[in-house]
Amino acid sequence: MHLSALRLTAIYRLSVSTCIPAQQQDFISFLIKRNMSTTSPNLSSNRVLTVDTINPNVITMEYAVRGPIVIRAVELEKELENGTKLPFDRVIKANIGDAHAMGQTPITFIRQVIACTTDPSLLKTNLYPEDVKQKALSLLGACGGGSVGAYTQSNGIELIRKHIAQFIERRDKIFCDPDSICISGGASEAIRNVLKLFIHHDSSKKKAGIMVPIPQYPLYSASIEEFNLGQVGYFLEEEKNWALDLEELERSLKEHQTKFDVKVIVVINPGNPTGQVLTKENIENIIKFAYKNNLFIFADEVYQENVYAEGAKFYSFRKIMKEMGSPFDNLELASFYSCSKGYMGECGLRGGYVQFDNFDPQVYVHFKKMISAKLCSTVLGQVVLFLFFKKFMERWHLIPSAFMFYRREWVGF
């Protein structure tokens, strides 16, 4: 079989497995054929890595956020830059929640502290307020060699994990152990790290099934495919403001149990991309469903600061699970958060975390061993998390005018 035919076969399998619309299938095929025309057959025949030899799951994986539509958008941008006349004068990218790319200005306080941590000589000047300098000094004191250029602990700087734990305690009114937190390069990395724990290579066993909402952030479907796990989709009800229905969960689970060993339920709250906020009763019912079916819960809560609908209120899965008491409070739960969303929108600095409840201690040892292979997450991303979870509230006591400036920025967003 020729290389181009192999690629088209892979695309066909992908299209069928992920229900890609026909027009998008055609466009993917067009891109592949065009790329093939620029590749020398003589060169590719001697390569170690070809589409015949790479991990087949990478071929079937589809990540719509940066998929063919985005590739085409970039091409159109370049055409506009080169003077090509099109029926529009700019491309607006709404494929991903990238606040700063869409014009949101960074929080001044965050950028001032980052500036001081990356260039400590600024601490000797009068360019920035004293509380900015104090924050920078405390952060530098927690870094190896007093520099954000040093590696940190693989699960993150201890000082920052302690502040995250304090934030979680204030939010949930329940103790949180800093050692249950692992900081990562964004919530996406944390989610993928935990998903990897469900991979097995025993062909005599069913794949681990992962229940995910539809519609959902494509990170999940892409990672599930890449890791050779099983996607178990459950549909949200658009007519009821994208509500989650227990009967639909039961239907999806029953339908897929013959094919997969369903291990995980992913819940995105507030919804992405749907924006709905689960009620306390919704969360209780999901927890009961997870208990009944012995499921590990992924609580993707990265949009918890983005609750705008009248009467809506964010409740963390952790809080509700603990309040429900035995036996539900013993469920395994991984909660995810990120500095890319909320009012910070610091997507490019890559800061996020996973916080575990009822995680097997021996599994946790291996999890930390696994993430240690990456050494650590970006330190500036950790700095942003620290500044968010401190909430800047001491500025009220130190410099009222500075606090009010921050408050205006926050409310403005």
> The domain that contains 369 carries what CATH number?
3.40.640.10
Is 224 found in the same domain as 75? Answer: no
Tell me which residue has tokens 């934030």: 167
pLDDT at position 300 over 80: yes
Of 279, 300, 283, nearest to 291 (Cα)?
Answer: 283
Structural domain boundaries enclosing 202: 158-390
Say if strands 230-235 and 296-300 run parallel, antiparallel, or are unpaired.
Answer: unpaired
Is 80 found in the same domain as 166? Answer: no
Residue 55 lies in a domain: yes
Is 211 found in the same domain as 320? Answer: yes
How large is the angle between the packed helices 22-37 and 68-81, nearest 10 degrees?
A: 60
Mean pLDDT, the chain, whole residue set? 80
Residue 115 lies in a domain: no
How many Cβ atoms are within 10 Å of 199's Cβ, its own excluded? 12
Which range, 97-101, 246-250, 388-392, is most confident? 246-250
Lowest mean pLDDT among 127-131, 172-176, 265-269, 286-290: 127-131
Segment 126-140 shows an average pLDDT of: 87
Residue 134 lies in a domain: no
For the stretch 18-64, pLDDT in tens is 445 555 555 555 555 555 444 555 555 678 766 676 666 666 665 55
Contacts 24+ apart (CB under 8 A), 235-244: 236/271, 236/274, 236/276, 241/276, 242/271, 242/274, 242/275, 242/276, 243/276, 243/282, 244/213, 244/278, 244/282, 244/286
Residue 12: pLDDT band by 50, 70, 90 thresholds?
very low
User: Looking at 245-398, which runs of residues are DSSP E strands?
Assistant: 260-268, 296-300, 333-338, 352-357
Q: How many residues does the chain have?
A: 413
Residue 108 lies in a domain: no
Residue 403: the pLDDT is 57
Is 172 found in the same domain as 27? Answer: no
pLDDT at position 250 over 90: yes
Residue 400 lies in a domain: no
Which pair of structure tokens corresponds to residue 402? 């500075």
Is 198 found in the same domain as 76? Answer: no
Lowest mean pLDDT among 19-28, 311-320, 382-391: 19-28
How large is the angle between the packed helices 187-196 and 361-372, nearest 10 degrees?
A: 120
Residue 126 lies in a domain: no
For the stretch 65-80, pLDDT in tens is 556 777 888 888 888 8
Residue 119 lies in a domain: no
First to last CA, the chain: 55
- The last residue of one of the domains, among 57, 81, 101, is 101
Is 308 found in the same domain as 176? Answer: yes
Is 282 found in the same domain as 205? Answer: yes
Is 365 found in the same domain as 226? Answer: yes
Which range, 18-32, 37-51, 96-110, 301-315, is most confident? 301-315
Is 306 found in the same domain as 225? Answer: yes
Residue 251 lies in a domain: yes
Is 162 found in the same domain as 95? Answer: no
Whole-structure pTM value: 0.77
Q: How many domains does the chain have?
A: 2
